[in-house]
Amino acid sequence: MSVENREMVLAIKMLPNNDADAETIGDYLKELLGAVWVEEESFSGKRPFGNSAWKYEVYAALIQAGVLKGQLDEFGCVEDCDEKTAETLMVELIDGLVLA
């Protein structure tokens, strides 16, 4: 993923009322990493912000931005998406952050 594309994805607005209270995907990832760091072995990978569907909050933002194919319901929850593409995109995004 190019630097420009990485910056674009990090700047995508999260849907309101996400469990991390993050404004952008980049903010969401910062909150997630901060939680891992602070909580150490107490960190819950299943429910880092109290919700087991936490990845879908990011997927919803990607769908709304037109970066990921999928469908949201009337409440902004993911109804359908290409999870394999979403996982690949997020791994590339995170790898890019590490290499930056």
Rounded to whole angstroms, how far apart are CA atoms 7 and 97?
10
Q: Is 91 exposed, middle or buried (0-12, 13-18, 19+ CB in 10 A)?
A: exposed
3-state DSSP percent of the chain in helix, strand and coil, to 5: 55, 10, 35
- Residue 98: predicted pLDDT: 67
Residues 36-52 pLDDT 10s = 999 989 998 889 988 88
Averaged pLDDT for residues 82-92: 94
**Domain extent at residue 65:** 3-99
Rounded to whole angstroms, how far apart are CA atoms 64 and 70?
9
Rounded to whole angstroms, how far apart are CA atoms 82 and 80?
7
Number of domains in the chain: 1
Residue 6 predicted with pLDDT over 80: yes
The pLDDT mean for the chain works out to 91
* Paired strand residues for 78: 72
